[in-house]
């Protein structure tokens, strides 16, 4: 079968797919103009990869496509309605990356509060020439209030670390109440406004959807404590980035830890990169050797199952499965 593989997929998994199928791998190309990509797209029955924008425009050029297998849990790059309209299966890789992303989010919490990258730079620059003064003190993490927006798989894993490891009080806001999290971590369900006003750390970990796009802007930053630390591990577009810059510049909040940006890779002249109270990462939530491999493997399983007429374990649009089973491909 003809497969279009798009950055990022781990080599052993790509090699295994190549051994069974006719696979072309694409990286760093303009997907609207690259002739090889467009030619392969016109023949492909399956797509596997990360972050390829799959919308009606692309699908119009992919008449043979039957499945799109995302190597990520977030699937805001996929137009699910457009895929479903064409009876194309869509899958993602939930669960296996949860702990890895939660570790990274906690890394942002700790490194921002304790100013670890900033002080690492201070030591390496040879500036540590006398006993440290108050201006370099950080903020405690333990026993503080952590507000989690989006109490799903990753939100729960962050809460687990915060509750059991750091004796933090957990506040959360989600679309629905999560009684399991309330029982396991003594978490308190709040309105968004209440969470923003009370939390010492505000951690955003929702999917990017119509509802969550620009969910946190200047009004929300102004509701936070002046000592609040804001963490974004979700997607760059869940916040208004220029409002975050304004909130940090005007002292509405103390600091921020960011794994995601409005534009990725982030533009070198982005003002956030010049702020010592902002810890920045290049979207590495799931990027450990172990987890990236598991994600590619799971995405390959989803792809194979779908192509072979079996229900993929991580099917997003089950409506397509129902339609296929009524009418056949
Ligand atoms: N930084 C990274 O590298 C990285 C890695 C993995 C996932 N993510 C992001 O994290 C997201 C969450 O992943 P997950 O596995 O925890 O997903 P999940 O579906 O288990 O959890 C998402 C939670 O967000 C809540 N939510 C959705 N819309 C909301 C809204 N409007 N207001 C409040 N809460 C809302 C849902 O109720 C759910 O509890 C992904 O979709 C992805 O965008 C980022
Ligand atoms: O959504 C995810 O799985 C990650 O952000 C991909 O890198």
Q: Do 107 and 211 reside in the same domain of the chain? A: yes
Strands (E), 27-161: 46-49, 67-70, 89-91, 145-149
| Number of separate domains in the chain | 2
Residue 120, number of CB atoms within 10 A of its CB: 11
Question: Cα dist. 208→172, 182, 188, 220 in Å?
Answer: 18, 24, 23, 17
Integer Cα distance of 34 and 70 in angstroms: 21
Within a domain: residue 53?
Answer: yes
d(CA 194, CA 201): 13
Same domain, 201 and 323: no
E strands in the chain = 2-6, 22-26, 46-49, 67-70, 89-91, 145-149, 169-173, 188-189, 201-204, 229-232, 255-258, 278-280
Q: What is the pTM of this model?
A: 0.97
Question: Is any atom of ligand 1 closer than 6 Å to the C-beta of 259?
Answer: yes
**Distance from the alpha carbon of residue 293 to the mean position of ligand 2, in angstroms:** 13
Cα(224) to centroid(ligand 1), Å: 21
Give the domain extent around 149: 98-280
161 a catalytic residue: no
The answer as to whether 191 is a domain residue is yes
Residue 72 sits in the same domain as residue 108: no
Does the annotation mark 235 as catalytic? yes
Residue 285 within a domain: no
Q: Tens of pLDDT along 44-90?
A: 999 999 999 999 999 999 999 999 999 999 999 999 999 999 999 99
Contact 152, 98 (CB under 8 A): no
Q: Based on the domain organization, do 157 and 244 belong to the same domain? A: yes
Residues 154 and 10 occupy one common structural domain? no
Residues 40 and 166 in one domain: no
- 39 within some domain: yes
Catalytic residue among 66, 161, 173, 283: 283
d(CA 53, CA 78): 6
Helix 11-20 to helix 289-307 angle (10° resolution) is: 20
Return the DSSP state at 113: H
* Mean pLDDT (10-residue bins), the chain, 329 residues: 96 98 96 97 98 97 98 98 98 98 98 98 97 96 98 98 98 97 98 98 98 98 98 98 98 98 97 98 98 98 97 98 81
What CATH number does the domain containing 165 carry? 3.40.50.720
CA distance 163 to 145: 10
Of 107, 174, 232, 291, the one to substitute when testing ligand 1's pocket (max ligand atoms within 8 A of C-beta) is: 174
- Specify if 200 maps to a domain: yes
Mark whether 87 and 124 lie in a shared domain: no
Check residue 329 and give its pLDDT: 56
* Ligand 2 cavity residues, CB under 6 Å: 72-74, 97, 283, 285-286
Give me the pLDDT at residue 326, please.
81
312 Cα to the center of ligand 2, angstroms: 19
Tokens found for residue 68: 């799109």
Q: Whose Cα sits closest to atom 3 in ligand 1?
A: 285
How much is the ipTM here?
0.99
156 CB near ligand 1 (under 6 Å): no
Q: Which residue's structure tokens are 């649009």? A: 317
Cβ-based neighbours of 4, under 8 Å, separated by 6 or more: 23, 24, 26, 37, 40, 41, 44, 46, 47, 48, 49
């Amino acid at each position: 079968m003809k497969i279009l593989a798009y950055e990022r997929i781990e080599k052993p998994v790509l090699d295994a797919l190549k051994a069974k199928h006719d696979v072309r791998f694409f990286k760093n190309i303009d997907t609207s103009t690259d002739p090889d990509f467009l030619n392969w797209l016109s023949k492909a029955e399956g797509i596997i990869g990360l972050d390829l924008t799959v919308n009606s425009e692309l699908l119009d050029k992919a008449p043979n496509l039957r499945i799109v297998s995302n190597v990520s849990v977030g699937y805001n790059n996929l137009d699910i309605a457009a895929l479903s309209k064409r009876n194309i299966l869509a899958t993602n890789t939930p669960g296996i990356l949860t702990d890895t992303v939660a570790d990274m989010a906690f890394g942002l919490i700790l490194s921002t509060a304790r100013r670890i990258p900033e002080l690492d730079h201070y030591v390496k620059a040879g500036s540590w020439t006398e006993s440290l003064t108050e201006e370099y003190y950080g903020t405690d993490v333990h026993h503080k209030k952590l507000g989690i927006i989006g109490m799903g798989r990753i939100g729960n894993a962050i809460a687990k670390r915060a509750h059991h490891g750091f004796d933090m009080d957990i506040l959360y806001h989600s679309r629905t109440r999560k009684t399991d999290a309330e029982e396991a971590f003594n978490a308190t369900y709040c309105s968004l406004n209440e969470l923003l006003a009370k939390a010492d750390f505000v951690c955003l970990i929702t999917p990017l959807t119509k509802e969550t796009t620009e969910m946190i802007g200047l009004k929300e930053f102004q509701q936070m404590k002046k000592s609040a630390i804001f963490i974004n591990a979700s997607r760059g577009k869940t916040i208004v980035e220029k409002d975050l810059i304004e909130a940090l510049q005007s002292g509405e909040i103390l600091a921020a830890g960011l794994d995601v940006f409005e534009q990725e890779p982030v533009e070198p002249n982005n003002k956030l990169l010049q702020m010592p109270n902002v810890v920045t990462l290049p979207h590495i939530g799931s990027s450990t050797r172990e987890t990236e491999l598991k994600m590619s493997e799971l995405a390959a399983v989803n792809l194979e199952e779908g192509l072979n007429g079996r229900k993929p374990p991580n099917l997003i649009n089950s409506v397509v499965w129902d339609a296929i089973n009524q009418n056949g491909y």
